[in-house]
Every structure is written in structure tokens, then in C-alpha cells.
């Protein structure tokens, strides 16, 4: 894999300050070797507490059944599937940053990819909880897996989007995990080789798989990363496409639309980047990594947020237009009565969605606001609230008043245990994220070193002088010398 050796001088540096290779190792590994701060403990314990409440809520659900949640005959999917789609969506930014931006050779990804990938894995883990526990009889979980069984063999329906989801989400989780861990191997070896404490040598020694940094290994590692990125790119698009098929292949008004796949993928990237912003703005501050996750990184991610937010906005308007243009009375009712009408029972949810996802991100057209940390953090939370409501609107407003008025449900509100489950996944997510930020390098060490001499502030001006002869030329000459 050949790189472009020279970075444009117009591009701002991606690593600020006067850095060398050793300084990078110091800066990124220091938080792992130091004792965790008081702030870390408070955050971690809060997350564990939330997780415990989640476990308690789910245990009640397993014992007493899904009746613990306020689901009823009409609204069989409510918070649970909303939460599932929301978490899966958040889990899209990591792979987008690490895979798609790798293929597009966007070097700014190096500062944020490791944390974003970790976030992806934890978000997918949280998402997976919802369909599993929503099954009710969760001990029958293995029924969804295709294996020769004593029931016939009775196979799952391979033509069903719900089964596609099982394959898509589990493949996505596995591939993201492999991609993330392969990238971690060299960095774990860096920690191992610096370690003074015995347990650290043991733990990071085992975790780094005996990585040595041999040129041949690097060559294979680069090829592996590139092919995994190539595989993960269509994969990340397929996952949310398949999630949208859960809805789009049904004949429920409000769901039965062909626009869903691109609309869901854009929404996923949108909410994922918002979550990356929320996490990284705090992480860079607490771990003192402002030189590596610079304001430039925040700026480009905000550009992606305004882009994907606008795509989502166009999708909302297209849906409305098609509902009117199709002249289908059912579609028209689902959109104009159940959603757009502010006086309908869930009209407020539609306007929260519109306000948070379409209108408010437009402030990022202004460079000053894109580069303002407080505004960015606030907006990232707003976007995720908006995206949660998007899924709530799609799911609840479509099914609470379907074809038959006799089946119309009364006002739906979740129970404390349903909310507790959702809070519990926050606990799960943040417990993992806190552990990750304490025990793993939150920035890809080797990748930052790799771009240092191209995009580091102190190297930008003296670039280009060092390589008068390219290795390719040398290899060519060497072949012909003999």
C-alpha cells in the first residue's frame, strides 16, 4: 500500500505542539500508567450503578414477562426497538471513521478512530440487548440460529428481514471487534514494552499476542487493515439498510417506503458522529489529549453532522411529499394526521425530531460555531435526542393507529422498568467506555506516529526534503544492479 508522501501545506496540522515519536508514546500511554482520577471513579461508579439498575429491570422482565413494559396489543414494539435502532445507529460512526475514511485516505481519522471504533463495539453490544430481551422467553434465544435441530429440522425463515438482522448485527459486531483489535495489537505491545509492573507485563503481554513490529508483520498488518476496511465499508451500509428493511418490507403505512435504507444510513452516521463528539470532547479534556484530538477534528466532524443532518431532513420532506403524492389515504393519514398534526397525541414527538435533527444542526454552517466546544457538545446531545425521537416517531406513530380504528391504541407511555432497561444500556456502554479509556490507548499510537512527519505541526514546514530517492526507485535499481 503506497501512501501519498506529501501533505498539502494548506491543510492544518493534525498533531499540534512540538512532538517526536517518544513524546507521542508518553502522551498517549500516560493515562494508562497513572492512577485514575477522582472524576474517572465518579463516572465509572455512576455507570456501574446504572448498569445494576438495568440488570434489575431486565431480571424483572425475564421473571414476569414483557407485560412489565407498557407494550400492548397494538404497540408491540416501542421503546425497546426504538432503543435498538438508536444504539445500532450510534454504532455506525466508528466503522465509518475507521473504514470509509481509510479508503478515502482522510488522515484526520487517525486521531479519533480508536475511540470511535471502541464506541461502535459498545454501542452494538447495547443494541443487541434489546431484541434479545424483547423475546420474552430469552432462554429460547438459540431458536433464531440455523442449525440442524430436533424440531424437524425446523429452520428459521431466511427470507425474513428479522433473521437478516441477526446475521447483519452479529457479523457487524464480529468484524468491528476484529478490526479494532488488530489495530490495537501494536499499541498494546508499546504498553507492554514500557511496563514496569508485573501484572501489566502479564496482561499487555498476553493481549498484544507477542507483537514485535517486524517489517513483514507490518506489511501484512497494513494489507489486512486495508482489506478489512474494504469489507467493513459495504458492511456498515448493509447493517442499517437491513435494520430499515425490518420496517420497509412490512405493509404498515409510514414504514412501507423505499427511501428507508439511505435515510437510515444517513441518520445512523449523523447520530454516531454526535456520540463521538460527546465522548471525545470529554475524553480529550480529561486525558489531556488536546494535541491529538484537535479543534480541526471537531470541525470536520461537525461538517459531517451538518451534511448528514441535512440528508436526513431531505428524507423527512421526501416522505411527506410522497405521502401526499401517492394519494394513498393510509399513508396520508399516517403522515398528516399522526405525525405532522401538532394536535395529534404524538405530534409533539414529530416536532422534537424536526427541531433537533433538521433545524438545529444548521448552525454548523458557521465556522465559529463548528469550532466552539461548548456549542458542539450541546449540539451532539441535542442530535442524539432528536435521533432517538426519529425512531420513536417512526415506530410508535406508525403502529398506534393502523388500518382498523378498532385496533387503535390508547396513549402509550413506558413503565419504569422499560426506562430502566434503557438506562441500563447507558450503564453498560459507559462502564465499558470508562474501562477502555483506562486500560487501552484511546488514540491509535502507531497511526499517529505514521502521520507525524506529514501532518505534525513541527514537521509541516520541513517536509519533503528527507526523501530524495523513493524506496520504489531504489528497489527498481537494486533489481537491475545484479
Partner 1 sequence: MAIKRFVVGSFDDEAVLFAAVKKVRLSGYKLYDVYTPMPIHGLDQAMGLRDTSIHTAGFLYGITGTTTALSGMSYALIYDWPLNFGGKPHFALPAWIPITFELTVLFSAVGMVLTFCYLCQMAPFVRKHHFSLRATDDQFIMVLECTDKSNVADMQTFMKSIGASDVHIQDAETGWWLGSYSKNIPSVDNAKTILA
Containing 101, the helix (H) or strand (E) segment is: helix 101-103
User: How open is the CA angle 49-52-57, to the nearest 5 degrees?
Assistant: 130
Query: For residues 218 and 333, which CB has a smaller minimum distance to partner 1 in the complex?
Result: 218
Query: For residues 7 and 418, which CB has a smaller minimum distance to partner 1 in the complex?
Result: 7
* Nearby residues of 276 by Cβ (< 8 Å), 6 or more positions away: 93, 94, 97, 112, 115, 116, 119, 301
Query: For residues 205 and 347, which CB has a smaller minimum distance to partner 1 in the complex?
Result: 205
State the nearest-atom distance from the C-beta of 174 to partner 1, in Å.
Answer: 6
Query: For residues 231 and 282, which CB has a smaller minimum distance to partner 1 in the complex?
Result: 231
What b-and-e string marks burial along 308-338, b requiring 16 or more CB atoms within 10 Å of the CB?
bbbbbbebbeebeeebeeeeeebbbbbbeeb
Q: 254: which 3 cell numbers?
A: 409510514
State the nearest-atom distance from the C-beta of 151 to partner 1, in Å.
Answer: 10
State the nearest-atom distance from the C-beta of 253 to partner 1, in Å.
Answer: 20
State the nearest-atom distance from the C-beta of 452 to partner 1, in Å.
Answer: 9
Beta-bridge partners for 15:
456
State the nearest-atom distance from the C-beta of 28 to partner 1, in Å.
Answer: 11
Quote the strand ranges of 332-477, DSSP E. none
| Residue 447 near residue 190 (C-beta atoms within 8 A) | no
Query: For residues 33 and 467, which CB has a smaller minimum distance to partner 1 in the complex?
Result: 467
Query: For residues 108 and 211, which CB has a smaller minimum distance to partner 1 in the complex?
Result: 211
* Nearby residues of 115 by Cβ (< 8 Å), 6 or more positions away: 276, 279, 280, 283, 436, 437, 442, 443
| Residue 340 near residue 354 (C-beta atoms within 8 A) | no
- Cα–Cα distance between 196 and 204 in angstroms, integer? 11
Query: For residues 228 and 315, which CB has a smaller minimum distance to partner 1 in the complex?
Result: 228
State the nearest-atom distance from the C-beta of 109 to partner 1, in Å.
Answer: 15
Query: For residues 190 and 425, which CB has a smaller minimum distance to partner 1 in the complex?
Result: 190
Query: For residues 1 and 63, which CB has a smaller minimum distance to partner 1 in the complex?
Result: 1
| Residue 15 near residue 452 (C-beta atoms within 8 A) | yes
What b-and-e string marks burial along 376-405, b requiring 16 or more CB atoms within 10 Å of the CB?
bbebbebbbbbbbbbbbbbbbbbbbbbeee
- Cα–Cα distance between 252 and 472 in angstroms, integer? 59
- Residue 67's alpha-carbon distances to 71, 135, 415, in angstroms, are 7, 12, 10
- Cα–Cα distance between 86 and 122 in angstroms, integer? 13
| Residue 60 near residue 68 (C-beta atoms within 8 A) | yes
Query: For residues 368 and 462, which CB has a smaller minimum distance to partner 1 in the complex?
Result: 462
Q: 191: which 3 cell numbers?
A: 504498553
State the nearest-atom distance from the C-beta of 460 to partner 1, in Å.
Answer: 16
State the nearest-atom distance from the C-beta of 463 to partner 1, in Å.
Answer: 12
- Cα–Cα distance between 335 and 329 in angstroms, integer? 10
User: CB count, 10 Å around CB of 419?
Assistant: 16
State the nearest-atom distance from the C-beta of 240 to partner 1, in Å.
Answer: 12
Calculated CA dihedral for residues 384, 387, 393, 396, nearest 10 degrees:
-70
Q: 334: which 3 cell numbers?
A: 399516517
Query: For residues 193 and 457, which CB has a smaller minimum distance to partner 1 in the complex?
Result: 193
State the nearest-atom distance from the C-beta of 192 to partner 1, in Å.
Answer: 6
State the nearest-atom distance from the C-beta of 164 to partner 1, in Å.
Answer: 4
Amino acid at each position: 500500500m503506497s501512501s501519498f508522501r506529501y501533505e498539502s501545506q494548506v491543510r492544518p496540522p493534525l498533531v499540534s505542539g512540538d512532538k517526536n515519536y517518544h513524546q507521542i508514546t508518553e502522551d498517549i500511554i500516560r493515562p494508562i500508567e497513572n492512577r485514575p482520577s477522582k472524576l474517572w471513579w465518579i463516572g465509572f461508579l455512576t455507570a456501574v450503578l446504572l448498569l445494576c439498575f438495568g440488570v434489575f429491570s431486565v431480571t424483572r422482565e425475564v421473571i414476569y414477562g414483557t407485560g412489565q413494559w407498557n407494550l400492548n396489543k397494538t404497540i408491540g414494539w416501542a421503546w425497546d426497538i426504538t432503543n435498538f435502532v438508536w444504539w445500532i445507529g450510534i454504532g455506525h460512526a466508528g466503522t465509518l471513521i475507521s473504514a470509509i475514511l481509510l479508503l478515502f485516505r482522510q488522515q484526520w481519522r487517525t486521531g479519533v478512530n480508536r475511540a470511535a471504533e471502541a464506541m461502535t463495539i459498545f454501542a452494538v453490544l447495547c443494541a443487541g440487548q434489546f431484541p434479545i430481551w424483547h423475546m420474552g422467553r430469552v432462554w429460547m434465544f438459540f431458536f433464531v440460529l440455523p442449525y440442524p435441530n430436533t424440531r424437524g429440522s425446523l429452520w428459521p425463515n431466511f427470507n425474513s428481514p428479522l433473521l437478516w438482522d441477526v446475521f447483519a448485527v452479529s457479523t457487524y459486531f464480529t468484524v468491528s471487534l476484529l478490526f479494532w483489535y488488530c489495530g490495537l495489537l501494536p499499541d498494546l505491545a508499546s504498553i507492554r514494552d514500557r511496563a514496569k509492573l508485573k501484572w501489566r507485563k502479564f496482561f499487555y503481554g498476553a493481549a498484544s499476542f507477542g507483537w514485535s513490529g517486524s517489517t513483514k508483520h507490518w506489511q501484512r498488518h497494513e494489507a489486512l487493515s486495508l482489506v478489512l476496511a474494504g469489507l467493513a465499508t459495504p458492511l456498515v451500509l448493509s447493517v442499517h439498510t437491513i435494520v430499515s428493511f425490518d420496517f420497509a418490507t412490512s405493509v404498515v403505512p409510514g414504514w412501507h417506503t423505499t427511501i428507508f435504507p439511505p435515510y437510515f444510513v444517513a441518520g445512523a452516521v449523523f447520530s454516531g458522529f454526535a456520540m463521538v463528539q460527546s465522548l471525545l470532547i470529554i475524553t480529550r479534556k480529561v486525558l489531556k489529549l488536546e494535541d491529538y484530538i484537535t479543534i480541526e477534528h471537531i470541525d470536520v466532524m461537525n461538517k459531517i453532522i451538518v451534511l448528514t443532518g441535512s440528508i436526513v431532513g431531505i428524507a423527512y420532506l421526501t416522505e411527506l411529499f410522497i405521502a401526499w403524492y401517492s394519494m394513498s389515504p393510509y399513508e396520508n393519514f399516517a403522515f398528516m394526521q399522526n405525525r405532522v398534526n401538532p394536535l395529534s397525541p404524538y405530534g409533539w414527538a414529530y416536532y422534537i425530531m424536526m427541531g433537533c435533527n433538521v433545524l438545529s444542526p444548521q448552525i454548523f454552517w458557521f465556522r465559529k460555531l463548528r469550532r466552539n466546544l461548548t456549542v458542539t457538545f450541546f449540539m451532539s446531545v441535542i442530535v442524539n435526542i432528536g435521533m432517538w425521537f426519529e425512531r420513536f416517531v417512526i415506530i410508535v406513530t406508525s403502529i398506534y393507529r393502523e388500518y382498523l380504528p378498532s385496533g387503535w391504541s390508547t396513549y402509550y407511555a413506558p413503565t419504569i422498568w422499560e426506562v430502566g432497561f434503557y438506562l441500563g444500556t447507558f450503564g453498560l456502554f459507559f462502564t465499558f467506555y470508562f474501562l477502555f479509556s483506562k486500560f487501552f490507548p484511546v488514540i491509535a499510537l502507531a497511526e499517529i506516529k505514521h502521520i507525524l512527519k506529514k501532518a505534525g505541526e513541527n514537521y509541516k514546514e520541513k517536509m519533503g526534503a528527507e526523501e530524495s530517492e523513493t524506496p520504489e526507485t531504489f528497489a527498481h535499481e537494486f533489481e537491475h544492479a545484479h
